[in-house]
Structure 1
Amino acid sequence: MGVSENEFIIQTTLLTGKILLESGAETSRVEDTMERIIRKSLGDDAAKSYYTYVTLSGVFVKTNLHESSFLRIDTRGYNLEKVVSVNQISRDYTSNQISLLDMYHKLKQLDLDTSKDALYKQLFFTGLLSGSIVLIFGGNWTDLPSSMVSGMVAYFIFQKLSNLADYPFIFEFLSTFIGGVVGYFIHLFIGTNINLTMIGTVIPLVPGIGITNAIRDLMARHYISGIIRLFESLFIAAALGCGVALVILMVN
């Protein structure tokens, strides 16, 4: 393999943490999974000389010999399928179903996998989400077209802008603003409640996973990661709200 056994263990552990963190897993899950891999690979006694540390910008493994390894996290998103896959791979390894080398190859393949559901599928379910939330909030069927279309437009714009560059909060604002404008014009022809249309516009981009992970990190006493996630999610929510609020202010 070109590296020592301990170095290979560290590389596999870091790769596991990297995939989990980039896919939206909470900090406590990432740290626990990395520690389980080290304990399984080295044994409980030897693993006591190893320390893992997880931040939103990188994962670390450090030994008592003052040696440390680090992987930087450049992008963070949400891919729960990858989180589930990594969890299953790590369970297979800790239960002796696969070797460490097999685990590394599976993780490497998973890390290189950039496939996503087709955009039309994403837009279809986005429309269902935006429409269903209107009915949940007491709207009627005439409010569905404007909310569904505005939600799909906002999501589509956000996906296209995100593929071009990375400007946090600005893209969320622009997406809901454009989606809100489209929803407003549809609402003029069919619809009774403009507020429900704006809710349908915002709901596909609400950072629900981010807020949930922030609370879980805080409860697990990962205060730095939890606070950062929480503020990030709140700023995203504020940007989304400002986008639709500007539309309402313009039309009123």
Structure 2
Amino acid sequence: MKREDDKFIIQTALLTGKLLLENGAETARVEDTMERIIRKSLGSTASKSYYTYVTLSGVFVRTDLAENSFLRIDSRGYNLEKVVQVNQISRDFTEGKTTLPEMKQRLEKVDADTSRDAMWKQLFFTALLSGAIVLIFGGRWSDLPSAITGGVLAYFVFQKLTNMADYPFIFEFLSTFIGGLFGYLVHQLMGSDINLTMIGTVVPLVPGIGITNAIRDLLARHYISGIIRLFESLFVAAALGCGVALVILLFNS
């Protein structure tokens, strides 16, 4: 195999890993997908001729025909739609439905896609989530306005802050504090349980995917990534809790 072909395989595998890791896939899935692409590309020469290594800050690939290659991960978020798209593209390649160059083109298209759901749609489903969690915990209908106000505002503030800069944990704290503050004000007008108001405020920002991925990484023996994800999620949860706790301490003491 030509050196140029091997580099192209590595570049495609790295791009796949980068897209999956940046958009919320667990480490085991990223590594497995990259290895499947390389095995399919190298064919009979794949046995023991390569290795992949995935961390939360970068993806590595090495083959016998080319030097080590590394791609840094600058930011991580959660866009499961992109994860599904990348999974389908890699599945089409391993099943022989598309060629490697076609696969790379499709991956680059996914990478370049920055479109998101309209803000009104995000806020609408945030309101549904905050309201539903109140009813699940046995709240009254009169508790919905305050919980929805807090949850929607906290989510809106968080999205606006993260679009301007990147300060982990601080933005989560500020968002839930502001959302909890307005939720508390609405609660004073109508509502019976301040705790349910604060639950509705916090739940849109709870790092559920992060905790799930941490557990899956630990079960897959990716201990470093799993522990880092777990601590990161716990710090986020602590920041969210501190935000609403401060509201309660200020006005309910």
Aligned structure 1 segments of 4 or more residues deviating by more than 6 angstroms: none
Q: Secondary structure at the match of 1:32?
A: helix
Can you give the 5+ residue segments of structure 1 that lack an aligned partner in the other structure? none
Q: Determine the structure 1 residue equivalent to 2:125.
A: 125
Say whether 1:61 aligns with 2:25: no
User: In the aligned structure 2, how far is the partner of 1:62 from the partner of 1:134?
Assistant: 51
Once the two structures are TM-superposed, the CA of residue 47 in structure 1 deviates from its matched residue by 4.4
Once the two structures are TM-superposed, the CA of residue 92 in structure 1 deviates from its matched residue by 0.4
Q: Determine the structure 2 residue equivalent to 1:113.
A: 113
Once the two structures are TM-superposed, the CA of residue 46 in structure 1 deviates from its matched residue by 2.6
Q: Secondary structure at the match of 2:123?
A: helix
Q: Determine the structure 1 residue equivalent to 2:198.
A: 198
Deviations 1:138-171 (A, max 9, x none): 0000000000011000000000000000000000
User: In the aligned structure 2, how far is the partner of 1:54 from the partner of 1:245?
Assistant: 37
The amino acid that maps onto 1:72 is R
Count of aligned residue pairs for this structure pair: 250
Deviations 1:158-209 (A, max 9, x none): 0000000000000000000000000000001110000000000000000000
From the superposition, tell whether residues 34 and 47 of structure 1 become closer, same or farther in structure 2 (CA, over 3 Å).
farther
From the superposition, tell whether residues 155 and 25 of structure 1 become closer, same or farther in structure 2 (CA, over 3 Å).
same
**Residues 38 and 47 of structure 1 are in contact (CA less than 8 Å); yes or no, is this contact kept in structure 2?**
no
Judge which range, 55-64 or 69-78, deviates more.
Answer: 55-64
Percent identical residues? 75
Q: Determine the structure 2 residue equivalent to 1:215.
A: 215
User: In the aligned structure 1, how far is the partner of 2:78 from the partner of 2:251?
Assistant: 34
Q: Determine the structure 2 residue equivalent to 1:141.
A: 141
The amino acid that maps onto 2:86 is V
User: How do 1:39-78 residues align onto structure 2 when only pairs under 5 Å count?
Assistant: 39-64=39-64, 67-78=67-78
Q: Determine the structure 2 residue equivalent to 1:183.
A: 183
Q: Determine the structure 2 residue equivalent to 1:159.
A: 159
Can you give the 5+ residue segments of structure 2 that lack an aligned partner in the other structure? none
Q: Give the CA RMSD over aligned residues.
A: 1.0
Once the two structures are TM-superposed, the CA of residue 45 in structure 1 deviates from its matched residue by 3.6
**Residues 51 and 61 of structure 1 are in contact (CA less than 8 Å); yes or no, is this contact kept in structure 2?**
yes
Q: Determine the structure 2 residue equivalent to 1:235.
A: 235
**Residues 54 and 60 of structure 2 are in contact (CA less than 8 Å); yes or no, is this contact kept in structure 1?**
yes
Once the two structures are TM-superposed, the CA of residue 36 in structure 1 deviates from its matched residue by 0.1
User: In the aligned structure 1, how far is the partner of 2:95 from the partner of 2:64?
Assistant: 27
Q: Secondary structure at the match of 2:62?
A: strand
User: In the aligned structure 2, how far is the partner of 1:214 from the partner of 1:22?
Assistant: 15
**Residues 6 and 65 of structure 2 are in contact (CA less than 8 Å); yes or no, is this contact kept in structure 1?**
no
**Residues 217 and 226 of structure 1 are in contact (CA less than 8 Å); yes or no, is this contact kept in structure 2?**
yes
User: In the aligned structure 1, how far is the partner of 2:91 from the partner of 2:46?
Assistant: 20
The amino acid that maps onto 1:247 is V
Q: Secondary structure at the match of 2:46?
A: helix
User: In the aligned structure 2, how far is the partner of 1:146 from the partner of 1:156?
Assistant: 15
Q: Secondary structure at the match of 2:52?
A: strand
User: In the aligned structure 2, how far is the partner of 1:197 from the partner of 1:12?
Assistant: 47
**Residues 147 and 200 of structure 1 are in contact (CA less than 8 Å); yes or no, is this contact kept in structure 2?**
yes
